[in-house]
Amino acid sequence: MEKIRHLKTSIEGSNNGAVDTHDNFVDLFLSFHKEVSIVFEEISQWGKEIILFDQENAKIEVINTIADGSSSNTTSTIEATSKTISSKSAPLNTRESITTFYKNHSFKPKMVWNKCHRPAGVGMAPWMYGETNEAPLYIAGAESKMLFVVNKTNGDVMQRVSYDKMVYPNAITFDQKSKEVFVSDKWKHCIFVFSAEGSFLRQLCEKGDQEGRLRAPEGLATGPSGTLFVCDTGNDRVQCISSTTGRMLSQFGRISKEQLLKASQTKTPTRHVDLKCPTDVAIYNDTVIVLDSGNRRVKIFNKRGEQIREFGQIGSLPGQFQYPEVMAVDPSGFILVGDGGNARILVYQPSGQFVTAMGSRGDSPGKFNWLTGLFVGKDREIIISDNKNHTVQVFC
């Protein structure tokens, strides 16, 4: 508080004739600019709210950190200059306008949630929760062995979903028609299905490498007509299974001779393609987009498993990634990849052309250490979970 009083006195003194030349005014402005930044950084250490000074846009931002047992207000922004017009207000109906949006929009964390140790997959349910009139945010608590159903606005945990056989919940996806939640369990080697109310419904698949069996599954995506696409990570393949019975409907990836023989006997559509530890999958229109983590590539297939194109390269330069872990596709087909190795999000056009990157390594708001969950909403709000920082951040 003493620093604040001193800074206030200095500023008032400058308004009472202390500045007599343009050069002195510039020097004084730069001095105050630096001191204000330092003071707000110190204030952030006192409480649950983090105050950041955006030097480029001359804004003071208050970010909520949601910790165990705490409450939170929604994020507020105090502007020191006239209000700026968000790039979100521009129509995003062409590839060029969306590319410009991602390049120019300054994504800021409006909520930092840390009620869960080592969070994994995240997703917004396509239905409203109770009487809140808001879609609930689902977070897979890998080490907590449960799902957290969270109010995205204030960070309140509205529900905890658990099952005594769940070992390591990883990725999450939803079926809007049946209002069901699908969760891959990496170390139980199966998929658990829950109702929107949190009741356990069924288990799909079990450990193995034959049809309908899984080994360390990760990414999930809901397909059409009651289908579910599963990254069968440990078996280097993607399976399309029935979301009700778990029966394999098709597969593509590194298929062994034994698996090919079995598929020919059961007449299961099968295609051999080079996949190495695929960790995430998404459906966009008639394409299946796979994050081929082991090969450091994003590969795009049609529904028959025929590869259309691929992109990606190992490295730290723009557009390259070291350890891509998670992926999401926005409403226009733009592909976002969470790179744990470089601690950033990379954005690509549907064609695979690199657009921009966001984020850097660290443990303060807006920074990452190891990304383990990624979701993009209809309004291009980005939700990211971080296994090492033990946080989920909501960016808008």
The CATH number assigned to the domain holding 208 equals 2.120.10.30
Give me the residue label for tokens 């080592």: 118
* 85 contact partners, CB below 8 Å, separation of at least 6: none
pLDDT of res. 128: 95
Same domain, 114 and 69: no
Same domain, 238 and 340: yes
pLDDT tens across 65-122, in order?
555 433 343 333 323 333 333 445 567 889 999 999 999 999 999 999 999 999 999 9
End-to-end Cα separation, the chain, in angstroms: 32
Average predicted confidence (pLDDT) for the chain: 85
What is the C-alpha to C-alpha distance for residues 37 and 34, in angstroms, rounded to an integer?
5
Give this prediction's pTM.
Answer: 0.80
pLDDT of res. 304: 86
- Using the 3D structure, point to which of 68, 86, 104 is the last residue of a domain: 86
Asked if pLDDT for residue 300 goes beyond 50, the answer is: yes
pLDDT tens across 334-349, in order?
999 999 999 999 999 9
Same domain, 288 and 319: yes
Confidence of residue 23 (pLDDT cuts 50, 70, 90): low
> What is the strand order of the sheet 280-284 is part of?
280-284, 287-292, 297-302, 307-311
Same domain, 249 and 312: yes
The residue ranking higher by pLDDT, 251 or 132, is: 251
Tokens of 211: 């049809």
pLDDT of res. 198: 97
pLDDT tens across 39-65, in order?
444 444 334 444 444 444 444 554 455
Q: Give the number of domains in the chain.
A: 2
What is the C-alpha to C-alpha distance for residues 6 and 243, in angstroms, rounded to an integer?
64
Asked if pLDDT for residue 4 goes beyond 90, the answer is: no
User: Which pairs from 311-319 meet CB under 8 Å and 24+ separation?
Assistant: 311/348, 311/352, 312/337, 312/352, 316/342, 318/354, 318/357, 319/346, 319/348, 319/354, 319/357
DSSP 209: S
Same domain, 7 and 128: no
What is the C-alpha to C-alpha distance for residues 9 and 183, in angstroms, rounded to an integer?
57
Average confidence (pLDDT) over 221-244: 97
Same domain, 118 and 142: yes
Same domain, 263 and 306: yes
pLDDT of res. 132: 81
Same domain, 59 and 110: no
pLDDT of res. 129: 92
Confidence of residue 5 (pLDDT cuts 50, 70, 90): low
The residue ranking higher by pLDDT, 362 or 11, is: 362
Collapse the DSSP code of 305 into the 3-class scheme (helix H, G, I; strand E, B; otherwise coil) and give the result.
Answer: coil
pLDDT tens across 186-212, in order?
999 999 999 999 999 999 999 999 998
- Using the 3D structure, point to which of 52, 86, 120 is the last residue of a domain: 86
Burial letters 360-377, b for 16+ CB under 10 A, else e: eeeeebbbbebbbbbbbb
pLDDT of res. 319: 95
Asked if pLDDT for residue 383 goes beyond 80, the answer is: yes
Domain range spanning residue 56? 2-86
What is the C-alpha to C-alpha distance for residues 370 and 283, in angstroms, rounded to an integer?
24
Same domain, 197 and 334: yes
Same domain, 54 and 167: no
> What is the strand order of the sheet 119-124 is part of?
119-124, 137-141, 146-150, 157-162
DSSP 169: E
What is the C-alpha to C-alpha distance for residues 231 and 279, in angstroms, rounded to an integer?
6
Closest CA to 308 of 297, 324, 318: 297
Average confidence (pLDDT) over 239-256: 96
Q: Which of 13-17, 21-25, 87-91, 236-240 has the highest mean pLDDT?
A: 236-240
Same domain, 305 and 188: yes
Share of the chain above pLDDT 90, in %: 73
Same domain, 292 and 341: yes
Tokens of 98: 């969306």
The residue ranking higher by pLDDT, 385 or 93, is: 385
- Using the 3D structure, point to which of 28, 52, 86 is the last residue of a domain: 86
Average confidence (pLDDT) over 233-240: 98
Q: How would DSSP label each residue in 151-162?
A: -TTT--EEEEEE
